Amino acid sequence: MAVRETSLQEELAKVDVVEEMCACPIDFSKSRVANPRQGVTQKEYSGVATSNFNVRQKFEKTQAPQFTKKFTDGTLPVEPGRYRLIWSRHCPWANRIAIAIDLLGLDKVISKGVVDPLRPAGVVGDWFFTLDDGDVDPILKTKSLSESYRKADPNYELRTTVPALVDIQTGEVVNNDYNVLINELSLAWQKYQSKDAPDLYPKDLQEDIDVLNQILFADVNTAVNEAGQARSQAYYEKYYNQVFDRLDWLEDRLSHQRYLFGNQITDTDIRLYVTLARFDLVFYQKYYVNKKRLVDYPNLWNYTKDLYSIPAFGNNTDFDSMKKRFFQVDHTPFEDLPRIIPAGPDLAIWTSPNDRDRFESRH
């Protein structure tokens, strides 16, 4: 089936889409705007894990998802209670999947575990369950996410990333592909979805959704990071302009309809929301993506508040975790790595009324 909205194809032709994910700018960027430890030899610490920041080069390469087993092709059995999503509340890529699970009503059949947004001092490349009692995930009985990665591949030596879907029976990561997991859950788990669950990947819009997802990936989701880790003025301004040109385009699109594809929530809305939710707190003030704030765009801001008012979005939006990861970075003592953590935002603005009910209902 061809793309129905031909203008989307024209927009896609303007952007470069690279699916592989760069290492997290907070740890690996050569710019101190994103990475406050750039150019610093950090003290060595021990405890939950031994510091490895000073040898972090082994983890810094661009990396595609390593585990990509699917439900839709029958490789993974669709079994309630068998899988656990491991995510961090700060991470926009993982946030997508947590929202989708709750929005589809799959939280009753797929559990979620949360890693600490703050790693042990001086540690990169892994995530830890230090928010749980005894520093152990209560279901997987593991202390770090890397344990599940190595159960899937004993020779695994790359970064462990979130989201990660883990098979509880084997303890192995079976899928860490942030780009396909929502669609996998939408298509293969329909039997277990709530009766009022939205169709996040409707058949008649799939090609259009795929195209707009690529546009957003290049111009919004990853462009904000590229601006933040720029090492030249020209590179920074390239991505700065890319972000705001696309936000202007989205502002106009959302002046005509409640969501990105009319009056129904789709996968694409989730992908845009997770970046917008972090925009003013992180990208505007830390990464210098500061032409406008989200709140300065009437349609985008009201659209984001509208989504936030839905429990699956609002309950999985944790501004405190965002501040911890993006500004505190990890558990390195403040006397060894001075940094300031924002006191805001004022969360009251997120629950203020929005004007999106001028369009038709959500589903």
Cα separation of 29 and 38, whole Å? 7
Q: Alpha-carbon distance 130 to 127, whole Å? A: 9
State phi, psi for 262 to the nearest 5 degrees.
80, -135
User: What pLDDT is stored for residue 362 in this prediction?
Assistant: 52
Question: How far is Cα 188 from Cα 210, in angstroms, rounded to an integer?
Answer: 18
Residue 261 is predicted with a pLDDT of 98
**Residues making up the binding site for glutathione:** 127, 159-162
Tell me which residue of 115, 68, 100, 155 sits closest to 330, measured CA to CA.
115
**b/e 332-353 (16+ beta carbons within 10 angstroms → b):** beeeebeeeeeeeeeeeebeee
CA distance 108 to 10: 41
Q: For the chain (length 363 residues), average pLDDT per consecutive 10?
A: 90 82 77 82 80 77 88 98 98 98 98 97 93 98 97 94 98 96 98 98 97 97 93 94 98 98 97 98 96 98 98 98 96 92 93 94 54
Residue 83's pLDDT is 98
What pLDDT is stored for residue 26 in this prediction?
80
Helices 206-216, 267-276: crossing angle, 10 deg rounding? 20
Rounded to two decimals, what is the model's pTM? 0.95
The conformation of residue 121, written as its DSSP 8-state character, comes to T
Annotated active-site residue 24? The verdict is no
Report the pLDDT value the prediction gives residue 84, as an integer from 0 to 100: 98
Domains defined along the chain, listed by start: 6-358 (3.40.30.10)
Q: Considering Cα of 142, then 131, then 184, then 326, what sign does the dihedral take?
A: negative
Cα dihedral across residues 179, 181, 184, 186: positive or negative: negative
Residue 282: Cβ-neighbour burial (10 angstroms; 0-12, 13-18, 19+): buried
Among the options 23, 24, 85, 91, which is catalytic?
Answer: 91
Q: What is the pLDDT of residue 259?
A: 98
